Amino acid sequence: MITITYGGISEIGDRRSSNQDSILHLYGTVEGHQAGLFVVADGMGGLAYGREVSSYIISELKRWWEIDLPQMLQNGYTKEEEIQELLDQEIWDINQAALRFGKQTGKRSGSTLSLLFFLDQRYFIKNLGDSRIYRLRRQELERLTIDQTTLQPVRKNGTLYYKNVLTMCIGVLDVPVAYSACGYVKLKDCYLLCSDGLYNCLKEDSIFSIMQDGRTEPKEMAVRMRGHIPPGKAFDNISAILVRIEEKKRGVGR
């Protein structure tokens, strides 16, 4: 038997006036199945109402966990293609609501979405935008998502440079196309979900060194990652969730 330990942080950073990020971490037994849902949503600061969209994503996925997931499992929908389809449908519904909100306010609003769902010994990933999911397995750090971005030229003060621009997110395009992945968990796997505010300021060597310390609790890992960013250099909001797969000891529950 396995169990999951987890923890996360979401904070304003050093330069922003507000936190546009939202996070969610849920774990427990649902209709006899061991399940976990972990989400990072990075509201787009360049658009209006980024915080509102990221918060809405979290509230809707919490509702999905509380209402739709139990019904799904009661109906026996546990096959890979069934779970993928149901997650895609939820993302579609969230995106449609965000689009309607944008039309009502007359302003474009959007958010990235990194979702990691566990069911028994399987994991499922849905990713839109440039928030990321990493996994440390057997001392190897691997990025499990692909950034949905493109390099575009920008001229500022007469200087031409290139910046990454999102090609996909929640709340901007009519058809949300998530990067999807799935697989099986293994004991001692450690997963990191994070916004670009974290990984843009932290080298993968630092991420690896923190994640490979099996004695540190996941919440403390997230705090340590934040602490490794030099003072004043956290230019964006910082969000991180750490999830570790561990062996469940007999007679011990959460």
Taking the model in full, what pTM does it have? 0.93
- Mean pLDDT over residues 161-172, rounded? 86
Which of 167, 53, 174 minimizes the C-alpha distance to 107? 53
Q: What is the pLDDT of residues 221-236, one digit of tens each?
A: 999 999 999 999 999 9
CATH of span 2-247 = 3.60.40.10
**50 contacts 43 by C-beta, under 8 angstroms:** yes
Q: What is the pLDDT of residues 90-145, one digit of tens each?
A: 999 999 999 998 888 888 889 999 999 999 999 999 999 999 999 999 999 999 99
pLDDT of residue 46: 64
The per-residue DSSP string of 129-167 comes to SS-EEEEEETTEEEE-S---EEEEEEEETTEEEEEEEES
**199 contacts 228 by C-beta, under 8 angstroms:** no
pLDDT at 252 over 60: no
Domain layout of the chain by residue ranges: 2-247
Nearest 10 degrees: Cα torsion 142, 129, 57, 35: -20
107 to 70, 100, 238: CA distances (angstroms): 36, 10, 25
**25 contacts 4 by C-beta, under 8 angstroms:** no
